[in-house]
Amino acid sequence: MTDVFNGKIAIVTGGTSGIGYAVSEELLKRGATVWVIGSRKESVEKAKVSLAAYTKAKFAAADVTVAEDVKRVIDTCVKEDTRIDYLFNNAGILKANPIEESTLDDWKEIVDINLWGVIHGVHYALPVMLAQKGGHIVNTSSGDGLFGMPYVAMYVTTKFAIVGLTESLYYEYEPRNIAFTVFCPGNVATPIFKGVVDTPKDVIPVEEAVRALLDGVEKKERLVVVPESIKTLVEEMNRNPAYKDQVLRDIVKNSQQS
């Protein structure tokens, strides 16, 4: 562990639960001032209690689908702390509806949260970072943002978009000292697995996933993938299109048999 984050200012959306909460706590442990952002006042108040030991923790409720909410958080952070060193666009939801059972409202909800939430964060934080001549934006995608996983097409659509957006901006803004990282977690032990009987064998503790993410952010890596099994799978798929085709066909076949 290094002191890279010590004294830095960070904003974490979706910061009151799951990966976002773990990122917030780890950054606080490493000496950062962290704005922990949740979508509901109730979740923010709960996080205030559980993170009360950290004097550098700050909190706000904001709906990332609402541009004005995101702007308010960015403006407040800059007013109070004068800068933003890191923005973690982490807020997101999972919808596993079959497409034929999905409504346009389902589409709008997941696109608004997963994609527009990231766009809003980038839109309002980037001018701040350009003005201060440095900064780092981290966008959470998914392992499913790296290949077309069947049965979660709506989710995959948003997560693919985040990967493409981040890769484009990584190269565009690298010469201007603005770093971009896209985080693609696979099976991580967050509340999403609570009550699930058949927990995936490769699920990893959220703390392990967050350490890998922050290690990658320290190195200004463009892409961070966890766990190692997902990283290996994606690398093999990229090397061997026939293998990728078979893997995805087997997912459909096994799902139909279960």
Q: Rounded to whole angstroms, how far apart are CA atoms 163 and 169? A: 10
- Residue 153: other Cβ atoms inside 10 A: 17
Catalytic residue status for 86: no
How far lies 253's CA from each of 98, 220, 250, 257, in Å? 15, 39, 5, 6
Residue 204 sits at φ, ψ, to 5 deg, of -120, 155
Region of residue 151 (phi > 0: left; psi between -120 and 50: alpha; otherwise: beta): left
Q: At 15, list the tokens.
A: 């910061």
Q: Which parts of the chain fold into alpha helices (H)? A: 18-29, 41-50, 67-81, 104-110, 117-131, 153-173, 206-218, 228-239, 241-257
Name the nearest CA neighbour of 139 among 126, 156, 122: 122
Query: Pick the catalytic residue: 155, 170, 171, 173?
Result: 155
Is 15 in contact with 23 (CB distance < 8 Å)? yes
How far lies 182's CA from each of 3, 38, 145, 163, 226, in Å? 22, 20, 10, 6, 12
Q: Rounded to whole angstroms, how far apart are CA atoms 197 and 218? A: 36
Q: Which residues are catalytic?
A: 155
